[in-house]
């Protein structure tokens, strides 16, 4: 594995008071991926979406191990199922996506929940907090600016909590796979 690839473990902060499983706004995008045109194509987005279910399986295993509690989500190739009285399902066919290499923009949506990168109209920058679970060295490798503070490219989210934990886990893993697959193709 490429040492620059994001891992599920480094995107979980079991000691955090509020957000233990990082949201995509806290997941960096490597500058080489962010600046590449090929990642903003429908072809690339489709490749990412095809790999997300396997990433979710790995992520859920890591989350449950690190937090010591079950998420109650079963992952199938075509959907996720939330265990419990209602057995809610999230079918992947209900996800929408758009990509535009001319303006370097990508977006996925599930109902009102959206995740995206837009390098021209809505660039998203985050400054990692002191308790970010990634190592400082790796955060520096992901930074596009290091002085006076680290600045990293990140994702924007819209109505992130509106569609429950399954949509959140999907969006988080889309961000991870997008970055890692992008790095693998550079």
Rg (CA), the chain: 16
CA separation for the pair 16, 100 (Å, rounded): 36
* Average pLDDT, integer, range 136-149: 90
Q: Which pLDDT belongs to residue 121?
A: 67
Higher pLDDT, 158 or 47: 47
Q: Which pLDDT belongs to residue 9?
A: 97
Instruction: Give tens-digit pLDDT for 8-45.
Output: 999 999 988 888 888 888 899 999 999 999 999 999 99
154: nearest Cα among 37, 31, 44, 62:
31
What single DSSP character describes residue 153? E
Q: Which pLDDT belongs to residue 123?
A: 64
Higher pLDDT, 103 or 179: 179
Instruction: Give tens-digit pLDDT for 99-140.
Output: 999 999 999 999 889 999 988 766 677 777 677 899 999 999
What single DSSP character describes residue 136? H
Q: Which pLDDT belongs to residue 85?
A: 65
Q: Which pLDDT belongs to residue 158?
A: 87
Q: Which pLDDT belongs to residue 155?
A: 93
**Which residue bears the tokens 């889309």?**
174
110: nearest Cα among 33, 48, 174, 44:
174
Strand order in the sheet with 143-145: 125-126, 151-153, 143-145
Domain range summary for the chain, segments of one domain joined by +: 23-51+95-185
Q: Which pLDDT belongs to residue 122?
A: 63
Full-model pTM:
0.94
Per the CB < 8 A criterion, the answer to whether 15 and 81 are in contact is: no
Mean pLDDT of the chain: 90
Q: 75: part of which helix (H) or strand (E)? A: strand 73-75
Q: Could you give phi then psi for residue 155, rounded to 5 degrees?
A: -95, 155
Above pLDDT 90, what percent of the chain? 65
């Amino acid at each position: 594995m490429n040492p620059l690839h994001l891992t599920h473990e480094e995107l979980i902060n079991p000691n955090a008071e509020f957000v233990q499983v990082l949201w995509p706004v806290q997941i960096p995008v490597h500058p080489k991926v962010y600046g590449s045109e090929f990642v903003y194509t429908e072809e690339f987005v489709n490749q990412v979406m095809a790999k997300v279910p396997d990433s979710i399986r790995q992520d859920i295993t890591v989350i449950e191990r690190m937090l010591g509690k079950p998420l109650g989500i079963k992952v199938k190739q075509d959907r996720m199922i939330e265990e419990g009285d209602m057995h809610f399902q999230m079918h992947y066919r209900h996800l929408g996506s758009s990509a535009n290499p001319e303006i370097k923009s990508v977006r996925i949506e599930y109902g009102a929940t959206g995740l995206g990168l837009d390098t021209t109209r809505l660039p998203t920058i985050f400054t990692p907090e002191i308790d970010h679970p990634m190592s400082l060295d790796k955060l520096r490798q992901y930074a596009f600016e290091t002085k006076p503070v680290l600045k990293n490219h990140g994702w924007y989210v819209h109505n992130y909590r509106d569609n429950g934990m399954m949509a959140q886990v999907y969006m988080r893993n889309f961000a991870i796979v997008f970055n890692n697959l992008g790095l693998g193709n550079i």
